[in-house]
Amino acid sequence: MTPSKNSAPSTIRIGTWNTEWAKPSSTGRKRGNMISDQLAASGCDVLCVTEGFAGILPDGGHVIDAGEDWGHPVRKGRRKVLLWSKQPWTPHINAVGSADLPSGRFVAGITETLSGSRLTVVGVCIPWSGAHVRGGRKDRRLWQDHEAWLAEFEELRSRLPESRTIVLGDFNQRIPRKYAPRRVYEALNGAFNGFNFATEGELPGGRTLIDHIAHTPDLTRGSVGIWDKKADDGTRLSDHFGVWCDFSTG
């Protein structure tokens, strides 16, 4: 179902989806075309796409990304994290995190809301439990890179504004905890102390997600919608559900 949007001047729609490397519509790939259409039809003001290509994002916006190196062979156009906004971006002072953060998985920028106020947005792709365990560099144990990312983000969090800030992307954990070890789930909550999770629990259709939107408490969540893993005709779109939320920015 295509979400409709009737945004008041103080409302902004934010969405995130891991698109599982769907090719941009310019290549004529059906899956990529369908995802592109759904992203555009959502009416989002800001989008975070993980495991994606810039070409899959709506036309006419502004894109920043986390770079092409996340510890795997570079493939043209692929990015672990991309941020798109209808309004131009001003890079955040810590736009790509720090040298201690696993690379290619963090990008931050400042954009404007419809009411003209500034919003800090951080796009992330927290490493999954098996990152570089059996693939990639093969030099990690289960959850090692995930926990390392969370530990470094906890340090970075103090440099983010305490208001009008959103962190979104692929968190690779369900909230509340379902499969992750308790220590890992506690690390996630510690790293995001001071943020609310707009996407915790069961969302429309009874779905629980690993793609999330976290926000400072001054932003009030409104409507929530889901991008399904499959299209209405049964076409497989991604191995992730995507999600968008409306926020009142005051």
CATH number for the segment(s) 11-248: 3.60.10.10
Helix/strand/coil (H, E, C) string of 87-115?
CCCEECCCCCCCCCCCCCCEEEEEEECCC
From CA 26, how far away is CA 10, in angstroms rounded? 34
Give the model's confidence band at 28: pLDDT under 50 very low, under 70 low, under 90 confident, else very high.
low
Determine how β-strand 118-125 pairs with β-strand 11-18.
unpaired
Residue 20 has pLDDT above 50, yes or no: yes
Task: For 96-125, write each residue's pLDDT tens digit.
Answer: 677 777 778 999 999 988 778 899 999 999
Task: State what percent of residues in the chain have pLDDT above 90.
Answer: 71
- Are the CB atoms for 210 and 237 separated by under 8 Å? no
Residue 49 has pLDDT above 60, yes or no: yes
Task: For 195-239, write each residue's pLDDT tens digit.
Answer: 999 999 999 889 999 999 999 999 999 999 999 999 999 999 999
Tell me which amino acid residue 214 is.
A
- Answer yes or no: pTM beyond 0.75: yes
Which of the 8 DSSP states describes residue 210?
A: S
Q: Which of 22-26, 50-54, 178-182 has the lowest mean pLDDT?
A: 22-26
